[in-house]
Structure 1
């Protein structure tokens, strides 16, 4: 008579090829199929003798139990993401209605055709007149946008926007609350409110969206224990977990990814490398970075994609578009129902003098990300092709 301990197998992490790769390991004598719930299959083993015919029956019954679920699950979801946006701020050089309506005209074709479109809103949507910062000091800015601009963002296709960054409290708690309310009333989910997870439903898949920044009034990058706890909470309810994170140093010299804490103007801007890998280890499936205002490398880690910075996407007079600060991408990612990276694409973008995004047929941003990825993650199992295609590869 064989003795077998209680064991739980998580197919979501253990089987990179999904439910179809389920194997009953006869030498271990796994006895029975108990339940399946959101890619979690538990096998209960007890102390009994098992014959080969019994094992065959168990394997057949388990496969039958799983098959209806795997057949009905949506197999692929495609997400698009962009970086920092500061549309219509008080520093805007193009406030006229007829001009702001053209804000996304140059990338209309690239923004379309996805199941979920997200970005980072680096401003406030409020009419509150009092800034919470002393903007008379050097390098201190307070961004404010007319609430009506939310309609432009909605019309462009955005379904969720991160409000976890260093400008969403520029007009205090009032401005932050106004931004949340305005987005929600427009039909755009605000993500990044402290201790909150947004759940987005795509067909039969539940996608959890969590926003982080380096400030304690948001979900905080530096607090890894709290971040992991949020991911685990989401993992119990969602099929796929997407992290939007605003962190890292800023400017043309901040395009490299290195382990360790990054600092900018004396502020702790987090260890984005450690944060990203830790959250994927905890159950996250995609990390979308922004904040440095320049492009950074991409990495494939544990079969999940990390985009360390997507650069500026809408500057509109508030953000600089000098040199490499004008280079941007629209990131496209296709994932399996278990969250595994299948393929992707970098749609190259360049910001014009107004700070509006336009598709860049020269592909400068693709070449930049190829170079950065080769420098920072030369062994990552990811290929960036000349046309921007992202494909996993075997080392």
Structure 2
């Protein structure tokens, strides 16, 4: 009897041990295979904006603010998973370099200041902190504005407020800039270049404690990967694009081209144009020896060598002279463009082709082009439809509904969307209401840049919502005998996978028929005119 009882107790004990062991194994397996929850991230500062930019809201469970000692204690107690650290990571933690945080000092585009020194910035922050607009992503310790009642806003709001002259200066992460603001060099150093070091730049690190052996085992079982940030690269994946206005290569321009060579016409500006990754112009005259005269212009076939020498990659054919030598003249122009490796947009064998966008990818940045022309100023000595139709060649008309439809179709296919339009009244510096309506509708539909030509003179630049509207870039190569038509410009844009970042206005003057980049007081005078025309736009 005693033997049976003892044996029964051992059996129960063994059963308990077995169940306990199985329970432990099951619990361990459940722990090993259970996915990690979204991480808790700590940062010194008063805003979640930087952390959300680095990792995205969907990857984060909680963002915790505090001093460095407080955050390190929470990390050691297991109440945090990661720390975002500035400048130098904490010894003993596992740290990975995230990238550079580059706070750029910006002003509204036509602000007269061209640079600022660090002492001037510090003085402005001290005297008028309410006039200093700082991105909430930069609400961090160790900056000149830390612990001072400056205005913290999202980067986009900083840009908007500066446009409305609601602040004197803004500070935003360099990658958040847009053409509506200009980046100022600080103490002679621009943040747009990596060397020399910019005074406000700081390094970012992501740190976490060393993992225990059980955690390493869990990582292997779950194939867990460490939190991956979107490394801020303020200088990466950018290209430059230049844009100019009307190029007409007939009449007096042709005389110079035949006498001195077509390259001579562009020789003063070609080095600058060829430096760009992409260059755009409006080709105002057909080129070739085909077709017959029905309006005004046709340049000889050799003229195309001058356009190619200048460095242009894309031209708009949507204008009131593309069909000056009928359909055959337009198609010969297209053939010569193709022969010289230049692409075109805005014209075609029918309306479908004329409206078809040109998409180019340069160094990983996709740029889409659309081109149109107003039709009210078109003149022809023969009754042809300048506007392309379902079964007739021609150009794309600047119809608002058509433009909006095309922009919406193209928007999700490209990083930067550019609409170029031949429009407005000749020799008038103010855009028409029709120009403004069409341009703003294009931006509302998704256009980043709207670039205009045809008036033969300069018109203003408008920063509308997130878009840039240049109502007239003026002539670039032309022979008109009116001094105001000799003032022109090259526009230089920095383009990225997130859209346009910068715009630079380069004043130019046409000497005879040859455009030259201006310097000194003449440059300043033309720039002031562009600024004044821009400020007059309602």
Structure number with bigger Rg: 2
Q: Shared topology, TM-score over 0.5?
A: yes
Q: Distance in 2 between matches of 1:21 and 1:184?
A: 45
1:227 is matched with 403
Q: Which runs of 4+ in 1 moved over 6 A?
A: none
Q: How does 1:137-148 map to 2 (within 5 A)?
A: 142-148=296-302
Q: Secondary structure at the match of 1:289?
A: strand
The answer on whether the counterparts of 1:110 and 1:330 sit within 8 Å (CA) in structure 2 is no
Instruction: Give a deviation string over 1:307-343, Cα, whole Å, max 9, x none.
Output: 111101001x4xx14121110000111233222x422
Aligned mate of 1:213, from 364, 373, 394: 373
> What is the aligned partner in structure 1 of residue 359 from structure 2?
199
Match of 2:511 in 1: 352
Whether 1:174 and 2:328 are equivalent positions in the alignment is yes
- Among 221, 227, 236, the alignment partner of 2:412 is 236
Q: Which runs of 5+ in 2 are unaligned?
A: 1-48, 62-223, 348-353, 376-386, 389-394
1: CA distance between counterparts of 2:54 and 2:454?
39
SS of 1:328's partner is strand
Summarize the Cα distance change of 1:187–1:358 in structure 2 as closer, same or farther, 3 Å threshold: same
**Deviation at residue 153 of structure 1 after TM alignment:** 1.0
CA distance in structure 1 between the partners assigned to 2:439 and 2:507 by the alignment = 24
Distance in 2 separating the partners of 1:342 and 1:303: 11
- State how far apart, in whole Å, the 2-side matches of 1:276 and 1:300 are: 11
**Per chain length, whose mean CA-contact separation is higher, i.e. which structure has more relative contact order (CA < 8 Å, sep 6+)?**
1
User: d(CA) in 1 for partners of 2:362 and 2:494?
Assistant: 13
The Cα of 1:25 is off from its aligned counterpart by 11
Determine helix, strand or coil for the equivalent of 1:293. coil
Write the deviation string for residues 50-108 of structure 1: whole angstroms up to 9, x where unpaired.
Answer: xxxxxxxxxx99x85x949x98x963232110000102458733242534331111223
Instruction: State the partner residue of 1:333.
Output: 493
Q: CA RMSD in A?
A: 2.9
* Inter-CA distance 155–335: structure 2 relative to 1 (3 Å threshold): same
Query: Partner of 2:310 in structure 1?
Result: 156
Q: Structure 1 or 2: larger helix share?
A: 2
The DSSP-based 3-state class of the residue aligned with 2:270 is: helix
Q: 1:255 aligns with which of 429, 436, 447?
A: 429
Match of 1:79 among 241, 248, 254: 241
Q: How does 1:270-281 map to 2 (within 5 A)?
A: 271-281=434-444
Count of residue pairs the alignment pairs up: 300
TM-score, length-normalised on structure 2? 0.52
Residue 312 of structure 1 corresponds to: 475
2:507 touches 2:526 (CA, 8 Å); kept in 1? Answer: yes
**Residues 90 and 145 in structure 1, CA contact (< 8 A), matched pair in contact too:** no
Deviation at 1:165, TM superposition (A): 0.3
Aligned partners of 1:121 and 1:162 also within 8 Å: yes
In structure 1, the partner of 2:526 is 365
Q: Does 2:57 match 1:23?
A: yes
Change (3 A) 1:336 1:20: farther
1:105 matched to 2:267: yes
SS at match of 1:145: coil
The alpha-carbon deviation at position 176 of structure 1 amounts to 1.0
Distance 1:245 1:159, change over 3 A: same
